[in-house]
Every structure is written in structure tokens, then in C-alpha cells.
Amino acid sequence: MTELEAGRAGTLAPVRGGAALGRYRDVLIALIAFAVLASLPLFTGSKALLDFVIRCSAYGLFATSLNLLVGYTGLTSFGHGMFFGLGAYSFGLIMQKLGVPIPVAFVATLAITALIAAVIGAICVRLKEIYFAFVTLAFQMLIHSTILSWASFTGGDQGLRGGIPRPAFLGINLANHVHLYIASCALLILGLLAMRQIAQSPFGYTLRMIRDNAARASFLGIDVWRAKLTVFVLAALFAAMGGMVMALFVSGAYPEFAYWTISGEAIFINMLGGVSTFLGPMVGTVLLLLLNDTVTRFTEYHGIVLGIVILFFALGLRKGLLDFVAEWFSQRRDAGERR
Amino acid sequence: MDLDALAGCLSSSACLVTQTTSGLIIGMLLFLVAVGLTLIFGVLKVVNFSHGAFYMFGAYFAMTAYQFTGSFALAMLAGAAGTAVLGLIFERVFMSRVYGADVLMQLLVCYAFVLIFDDVVRLIWGPEFKSMGMPSAFQVMPLFIAGGVVPPYYLLLIGVALSAAIVLGIGLSRSRIGKVIRAAAQNPGMVSALGINTGLIYGGVFALGGMLAGLAGALAAPVRSLTPGMGFSVLIESFIVTVIGGMGSILGALIGALLLGLIRSYGSLGFPLFTEGLMYLFMVIVLVSKPTGLFGKEAA
């Protein structure tokens, strides 16, 4: 290790004072981001743009939560979409059948998701790598099959139709498009901030250690199984939040929300944006949704176009966009320092 | 749930024969796809997510060849040989670039090709359902075994798949090239140091895997309808097979495929809506009790 690199590594180590400073900075960035997003309806009346941001919120929460597993812990889940679907369905069913206020349904959905994620996670996180990936996929498809076959409760392949009631609470009326938009943005920013706090906490660094060397983490007295299970449940909660935003947006829930392709898309989003930067999945979300929207407008063969773009990322950049940019900047800075 | 139907079938020999044969042909087709998958994983250490596309291409190639020549044998040949060439090109041009890269990158390349291949099929053959039709040679009276109806084509299908399994099993364990392949799976560096072109082996194994999937597609073409997305469900099912049997194990793929075929055919009687769910449930149970699959070696 050269002197320079040693110096850089030193500044990277989490220092108590530095961490607190970083935390204030994150909160500040979140506040600014929320202010910018929330003021958007003042400048534009474009419903399509607001819809786009709402969809970005739903998918962004979902994709970023997956990155807690993939990027930070090294757990490649192929079945993370089950929690997106579970969130959408639980929320929709609670609202339709029980008619409780929205915040109550929100909390109840998180509780249900946590419970199910704890059970599924307890089974899954014992397994490694490809086996973990497949057992999560199997659980996802099990939930998907259950949704399809339990038609009397879930509506089967028709999905939860008839709209989700959205009674006003605390002066917020989610049936109003602008209110729904601002609520989605708020959930997105709050969710991202919470995930950022988790990633930067000592627990977050424990996860990175497990990813890099689980045996060493175990020797250092860390209960690897429990740490993995905890992050599995946490990630599920944020994915369910994304699912709830989606259910509110489309006023329903459909079996596709729990189908495995939605997990595939989330993985794709992560790879597109980058997994070693916190905001990578968010960048990937915006990229994919933009790409999907524009490509479908021009050609019915959007699979070919999308495929070629993916190939460009996988074979050309060999990493996600934000990772690529971050690396490029750090290389430039290094070159500058050497000069 | 319809447990009465299941119980009724289990007590009737005619129904037992019919359900078991249909389970066997599902299982045999799955085996042909899954064994390629497991072979590619065993030797190349790549999870080929685009494997279902080869099954799809095999079916479309066979259909086209049958329409032009009217010969069933040529149709099978076109399905198998066409996908073998496709597999070789795909491996040499694209997959070989991501060996040793992040698993997610390999997955992404395959996923890209799933999208591309499906659209290519849609472009060439159109988006609607196609069917090849049963060749006239097999449009004869079905056999009756213990009161159960068994079309002769089913017997051919089971026979071809079983022969492929036996040839593959013996070829890999006895022949020189089989030994080289197994050696390359164990230690590619050593094999390459002995002057054997590992790139050629990798390409060959990928082509062989593609060919088996293509053959499965060609065999399935007379009895299933063809659509651009047909590779997808087969892919997922053959993944379940390889995982249940143990990644990299050919015997495991055979047993896993047969079990899954039987679960499908009997499950469709007892749990018509939850048949797919049964397969996933089975996979979960196997993985939880034996994480490396029934015949898998302990993961490194």
C-alpha cells in the first residue's frame, strides 16, 4: 500500500465525529431533495411527470431495499419482489376489507411483512449464494401461486380490483393526485434516509464485513445468521413500502407484483445504476423507467432495444452507471493528486 | 383442492397409466433442458439464464423444417443442430467475455438475451400461437395399457430422452472427451496447462447444452403450442429440477425432472390451481432439508 492509499483508507474509516457530521449532511440533503420534489407541482401541471415520480418512488424504495441485501450484505435475492407484492396486497386487502384509516393499514402491513419475512428469512439465510437465490425465488413463486389460487380472498389472476378506498386522514387526501404525489415523495425520501442511516450505522458496517468475509465476522463474535436475518427483514419492510406506494398509485394490486420478473427487474435496476454506491439503485430506477417509457413509445420490439442497452452495461461498462462515474472521478482525483 | 379426484385416480389403473405417462413426458422434456443447464453450470460455473431460449428456438426450428421438408426426422435434426450452432456462437461471442466476472453480470448478459431472443422470434415467426401438428407417422391408434391411453408419440419421446440420458451418462464417465470435460470442470487451469484448448471445451459444452434444450423443444413441438415466451416457464422449471437434483449432477437432474413431472401430472388432479405452487413447495422442502440438492456435492 502506498502512502497515498493509506491516507485515503484512513479518512474512509468511520470516525465518531465524522459519522455524526455525515448524518446531519444526509438529513440536509434529504430535506433539500424533498423540498425540490414537493415544489414540482408548483411549476408544472404535467400529470405524466408527477406519475413518473410516483412510480420512481415505488420502484426506488423497492430497488434500494434490495441493494441492502445484494450490495451491502452480498445476499443475492431472486425473490425480493415477494415483499413488494406482499406490501401491495396486504395494504389493499386491509383497506378493502377492514376500512381502517390509511396510517393504521400502513403500520399493519409493515407488521405482517415483518412477520412473514422473519419466517421466510430464517429459512433462507442459512443457505449460501446460488442456493439462497433459488430458495428465495421458490418462496416468491409460492406466494405468487397462493395469490393466484386463493381467488376468493385475493381475486386470483384478476387481482384486487374495485379500487382501494383512500379516505382522508389528518387533512391528507390521497385520492387527490397532488396529495398522493407529495405523500409518495415523502415516503421515498424518508425510506431512503432510513436506509442510508442503516447502511452507515455500525450494523451497516457489520453487513459489509459479512459480505467480504463471513468467517472473520463470525470469529469476531458476530452472530452472522442473526445479522443476515435482521437485514433481510429490514429490506422486506422497505420493499413493502414500495409495494404500498404502488398499490395506492394504481388503486389495486395484481399478481404480477409478486411474480418473479419483478425481482428480476429490481436486480436489473441495481446493476444498471450500480450496487456500490448508495444512490445507484435510485439512478437505475430512473434510467429503467425512462428507458421503458421511451422505448415502448417507438417500437413494439422493446425487448431488443432493452437487451442491447443491458449488454452495453454488462459487457461495456462492466458495472452500474453510478459506480462507473464514481470510479472515474476517484481515478481522476488520484491522477490529480499524483501530479 | 380436489382430493377426491386424486384419490379416485389413484384407485383406477387406467388413470394411473395415463397420469404417469403424462408425468413421464413432462419429466423427460424437463430433463433434457435441465441436464444442459446442469452441465453448463458444472463445467463453466455459469448459471445460464437464457437456456429456455434454446428450448424455444429448438421448437421453432423444428416447426419450420417440418413445414419445408415434411420430414419429422429432419425437423428433429434441425432443432438440435440449429440450437447447437446457436449455443456455440452465443458462448464464444458473449458468454466467454464474462467468465470470472460477478455472477450478477453473467445473469444480466443472459437476461438481455432472453429479451432479445424473445423479440427475435416475434419478429421472424410472429407473436401469435403456432403449432407444428402431429406428424402423420404418429397419427395412429393409441396404445391401451391397463386401460390407460398412451399415444405412440409419447413412447418415442420418452425413448429418445432416455437414450440421450444414457448416452450422456456413459459418454461423460467413460469416453476420453467425457473425462476431459470432467477434468475441465474440476481444474480448468490444469487441463489448459496440459495443452488442451479449454475455450473449445467450454464452447463445446455450451453447444451440447443448447443442443439438448433444442432437442427438447423440437420433441415438444408436436404436442405443445409455440409462443415467443415459451422458454420462460421451462427455464424456471428446469432451474427447479437442477436445484432439487443438485447443481452439476446429471443423475440428480434425471431424478429431479421425473419427480417434478409426476408432481405436475398428479398435482393437476388434486390441486388444479396450486400445481405450480406444489413444485415450489417441493423445492423449498428439499432445499431446507438438504441445501445442496438431493445429489449435489457440498458447496465449496
Q: What is the pLDDT of residue B1?
A: 65
CB burial of A216-238 (b: ≥16 within 10 Å; e: otherwise) equals ebeeeebebeebbbbbbbbbbbb
Whether residue A134 has pLDDT greater than 70: yes
Average pLDDT over all residues of chain A: 83
Q: Do B111 and A151 touch (CB under 8 A)?
A: no
Asked whether the beta carbons of residue B103 and residue A130 sit closer than 8 angstroms, the reply is yes
B5 part of contact set with chain A, CB < 8 Å? no
Q: What is the pLDDT of residues A293-327, one digit of tens each?
A: 888 777 777 788 888 888 887 787 777 778 788 88
Mean pLDDT of A159-168: 77
Is residue B3 exposed (0-12), middle (13-18) or buried (19+ Cβ within 10 Å)?
exposed
| B288 → chain A, closest CA residue | A123
Instruction: Identify the pLDDT of residue B84.
Output: 94
Q: What is the 3-state secondary structure (H, E, C) of B220-282?
A: HCCCCCECCCHHHHHHHHHHHHHHHHCCCCHHHHHHHHHHHHHHHHHHHHHCCCCHHHHHHHH
Q: What is the reported pLDDT for A59?
A: 93
Secondary structure (3-state) at B161:
helix
Say yes or no for a CB contact (<8 Å) between B105 and A314. yes
- Annotated domain spans of chain A: 47-258
Minimum-distance CB partner of B104 among A76, A134, A311:
A76
Gap from A121 CA to chain B (nearest CA, Å): 12
A contacts of B283 (beta carbons < 8 Å): 134-135, 138
Nearest CA-CA partner of B245 in B229, B260, B228, B227: B260
The single-letter DSSP state of residue A257 is: G
Contacts for B295 with CB less than 8 Å, ≥ 6 apart:
B245, B246, B249, B251, B252, B255
Phi, psi of A201 (to 5 degrees): -80, 170
CB contact under 8 A, A138 and B103: no
How far is the CA of A250 from the CAs of A51, A75, A165, A226, B222, in angstroms? Answer: 10, 30, 12, 36, 41
Q: Does B154 touch chain A (CB under 8 A)?
A: no
Listed as ranges, residues in chain B with pLDDT below 50 are 299-300
Q: Is the pLDDT of residue A338 over 70?
A: no
Q: Which residues of A touch B292 (CB under 8 A)?
A: 131
In single-letter form, the type of residue at position A291 comes to: L
Which pLDDT score, from 0 to 100, does residue A18 have? 62
How much is the average pLDDT of A120-143? 84
B176-186 vs B13-44: helix crossing angle, rounded to 10: 70
Rounded to an integer, what distance in angstroms lies between the CA atom of residue A123 and that of residue B283?
Answer: 13
- Of the residues A82, A116, A131, A292, the best mutation for testing chain B's interface (the one with the most B CB atoms within 10 Å of its CB) is A131
**Is 0.85 exceeded by the ipTM?**
no
Find out whether A271 and B105 touch, Cβ atoms under 8 Å: yes
| Residue A258 DSSP one-character state | G
Q: Please report the pLDDT score of residue A77 as a whole number.
A: 86
Q: How many angstroms separate the CA of residue A278 from the nearest CA in chain B?
A: 18
Distance between B233 CA and the closest CA of chain A, angstroms = 11
Neighbouring C-beta atoms of residue A203, cutoff 10 Å: 15
Q: Exposure of B173 by Cβ count < 10 A (0-12 exposed, 13-18 middle, 19+ buried)?
A: exposed
* Rounded Cα distance, B126 and B123, in Å: 6
Which among B105, B129, B117 has a CA at the least distance from the CA of B52? B117
pLDDT at A6: 41
The pLDDT > 90 percentage for chain A reads 21
Chain A contacts of B112, Cβ < 8 Å? 306-308, 310-311, 314
A5 pLDDT higher than 50 = no
Higher-confidence position of A108 and A314: A108
Task: Give the nearest partner residue to B112 out of A127, A137, A307, using CB atoms.
Answer: A307
Q: Is residue A227's pLDDT more than 70?
A: yes
Residue where the block lists cell 396450486 = B274
Contact yes or no for B281/A142 (Cβ under 8 A): yes
Crossing angle for the helix pair A129-149 and B230-245, nearest 10 degrees?
130
Query: Cβ contacts (< 8 Å) between A137 and chain B: which residues?
Result: 239
What's at A203, amino acid-wise? Answer: F
Between CA A228 and CA B17, with CA B284 as vertex, the angle to 5 degrees is 170
**Chain A residues whose beta carbon lies within 8 Å of the beta carbon of residue B98:** 314-315
- List b or e across A118-153, with b for residues whose CB sees 16 or more CB atoms inside 10 angstroms: eebbeebbbbeebbbbbbbbbbbbbbbbbbbbeeee
pLDDT given for residue B110 in this prediction:
87
Determine the distance in angstroms separating the CA of B40 from the nearest CA of chain A, rounded to an integer. 15
Give the pLDDT band (50/70/90) at residue A292: confident
B268-to-A146, A157, B220, B277, B279 alpha-carbon distances in Å: 15, 18, 19, 11, 11
Is B239 within 8 Å of chain A by CB? yes
Distance between CA atoms of residues A316 and A158, nearest Å: 41
Highest CATH level, class, for B3-126+144-289: mainly alpha
Q: Is the pLDDT of residue A130 over 80?
A: no
DSSP state of B298: P
Work out the average pLDDT over A129-146: 84
User: What is the number of CB-based contacts under 8 A between chain A and chain B?
Assistant: 113
Apex A215 CA angle, A213 and A217, nearest 5: 70
The cell numbers describing A92, all together, are 389493499
- Residue whose entry in the numeric block shows the C-alpha cell 393499514: A105
Whether residue A8 is predicted with pLDDT greater than 50 in this model: the reply is: no
C-alpha cell at B69: 421438408
Q: What are phi and psi of A319, to 5 degrees?
A: -160, 175
Residue A285 has pLDDT above 80, yes or no: yes
